[in-house]
Copies of this chain bind each other. A is one copy, B any other.
Amino acid sequence: MAELVGNLLVAQSGGPTAVINSSLAGVIQEAGRHDCIEEIYGGANGILGILNEELIDINDEKAKTIEGLKSTPAAALGTCRYKIDFKKKPEKAAKDMDRLFEVFQAHNIRYFFYAGGNDSQDTSHKIHEEAVKRGYEMRVMGVPKTIDNDLPFTDSCPGYGSVIKYAATTVMEVGIDVASMATDDGSCCIIEVMGRSAGWIAAGTVLAKRGNAANPPHIILLPEIKYNVDAILAKVKETVTTYGYCIMVVGEGIRDEQGHEIGADKTRLDSFGHPVLAGAAEKIKELVQDRLKTKTRTVLLGYAQRAAEHFASLTDSTNAYACGEAAVRAAVNGQSGYMVKIVRNTEGGTIKWGTDLQELGTVANVEHFVPREWATEDGFLPNEKFVEYARPLIEGEVKIPFEGGLPKYVTLEKSKVEKKLAPRS
């Protein structure tokens, strides 16, 4: 393999996580160990910034800032949801691709790393194919990232372990709270978590049970399973009767028997005539209060769950870092067109985490869901198979520095790399 000398460009895409910056630190710190990599650039706001030739000079950042990325949430370089869509907008996509390669060439980018979820892996794949087609020598690697945990082939997605550590802890804490005042108050609490059509996050809160059926959460609803609303209410009633209270976790995308999203209430329209998305938890709360006359409160973790660096999983953060590191190593070794994946090796009961490579073409646009056989027959709780899978992902705590009682997170200086091209038309 011939050594490829040139500059590196790394960017972040999609919804941020607590550990996407850990992957970024992995890329940057590993890149610093290879002489063939000359300049290290960051793309501001993912592909969108690269199209606008907005590159950040990473070598202008302090070493301690890069180190601090390992304990800083959100996307330090900025992110976007911009998609190069050859199917729906082929002309625009072709134009975007031309522009990207103009930028790559202008800045002698020979290593390109893109951290993101399904769509971003698809983008990386297209860029890799395009580089091959154009005969432009560049090594392209996808770095996995998504709290939703729905990328295929990888054991788990960086970001997922942290979100379920935080969400399971929240469920534990809310559970103790509600139980302690269940005499005359708050006998049902519904916690809504993210994950779109994948139930991995909701399922992950089952860890709060710690093997005890009496412990909350008592009910977990997954978007993968269609639920009969009456059966949900019957289960709530049974739980309140048995334990005096009920803690339920719902994925935001849960569906009824007809396959309709429960959170989308079509009886209420906003000023444009669109159905108001009341939220799944709010909708079920109304049903429980109306039909069971049980006082119900909701918790909507929203963005707080994916940004909760203050309670991030060390295993997750370490794996995220390793993905960034492995991407650079593989690229320097001549590989291109792969996503790094996390591999779990269990030897004598102990897990040894590692990484491997997966062809981007096999990853792009494939969604990975919670297997049906990982939940109980009635669909109201993940089972032991799931617990065995998820438990190791929340091990360990990321240590964060404090200042005045609050976490001290880092911010990149973001020195701009001088532009060499005319503005994007």
Q: Which residues of B are found within 8 Å of A183, using beta-carbon distances?
A: 45, 48-49, 78-80, 82
Q: Which residues of B contact A306 (CB under 8 A)?
A: 177
Q: How far is the CA of A78 from the CA of B185 in the complex (A)?
A: 11
Binds B, one of A86-94, A235-243, A253-261, A399-407: A399-407
Complex alpha-carbon distance, A176 and B299, angstroms: 21
The 7 listed contacts between A and B (C-beta, < 8 Å) are A45-B181, A73-B176, A74-B180, A169-B406, A189-B303, A271-B290, A272-B290
A73–B303 CB distance below 8 A: no
Closest 7 A-B residue pairs measured CB to CB? A394-B405, A173-B307, A299-B302, A300-B300, A177-B307, A74-B176, A75-B180
Check if A178 is an interface residue, CB within 8 A of chain B: yes
B270:A289 contact, CB within 8 angstroms: yes
A361 on the interface (CB 8 Å rule)?
no
Q: Is B79 in contact with A181, judged by CB distance below 8 angstroms?
A: yes
- The range of chain A's interface size is 35 or more
A154 → B minimal CB distance (Å): 20
CB-contact partner of A301 in B80, B276, B304, under 8 A: B304
Given contact pairs A174-B302, A178-B303, A397-B402, enumerate 7 new A-B contacts (beta carbons under 8 Å). A73-B176, A74-B180, A169-B407, A176-B307, A270-B289, A271-B290, A297-B303
Chain B min CB distance to A148 (Å): 15
CB neighbours (8 Å) of A302 from chain B are 174, 189, 297-300
Residues of B close to A75: CB separation below 8 A: 180-181
A358 at the binding interface (Cβ < 8 Å): no
Q: Which of B79, B179, B208, B299 contacts A300 (CB 8 A)?
A: B299
Number of copies: 2
Binding site for B on A (CB under 8 A): 15-16, 45, 48-49, 72-82, 165, 168-170, 172-174, 176-181, 183-186, 189, 191, 207-208, 210, 268, 270-272, 276, 278, 282, 286, 289-290, 297-304, 306-311, 313, 315, 391, 394-397, 402-407, 409
Query: Which of B179, B276, B303 lies in contact with A174, CB distance below 8 A?
Result: B303
Q: Main SS of the interface on chain A?
A: mixed
Nearest chain B residue, comparing its CB with the CB of A164 = B405
Contacts of A397 in B (CB 8 A): 402, 405
Give Cα A56 to B327, complex, Å: 59
Q: How far is the CB of A176 from chain B (nearest CB, A)?
A: 4
- CA A397 to CA B271, docked complex, whole Å: 46
Docked-complex contact B172 and A406, CB < 8 angstroms: yes
Q: In the complex the two chains form, is A307's CB within 8 Å of B174's CB?
A: yes
Task: Note all chain B residues with C-beta closer than 8 A to A177.
Answer: 16, 73-74, 303, 306-307
Contact among B16, B168, B173, B297 for A180, CB-based, below 8 A: B16
C-alpha gap A8/B392 in the complex (Å):
45
A406, B276: Cα distance in complex, Å:
36
Chain B residue with the shortest CB-CB distance to A397: B402
Q: How far is the CB of A281 from chain B (nearest CB, A)?
A: 9
Contact present for B303 and A186 (CB under 8 Å): yes
Chain B residues in 8 Å Cβ range of A311: 310-311
- The answer to whether B297 touches A298 (Cβ under 8 A) is no
Taking the nearest CB of chain B, how far is it from the CB of A117, in angstroms? 13
Give complex CA distance A73, B181 in Å. 12
A300 CB contacts on chain B under 8 angstroms: 298-300, 302
Which residues of B lie under 8 Å from residue A310 when comparing CB positions?
169, 173, 311
Interface-centre pick from A207, A270, A308 (highest chain B CB count, 10 A):
A308
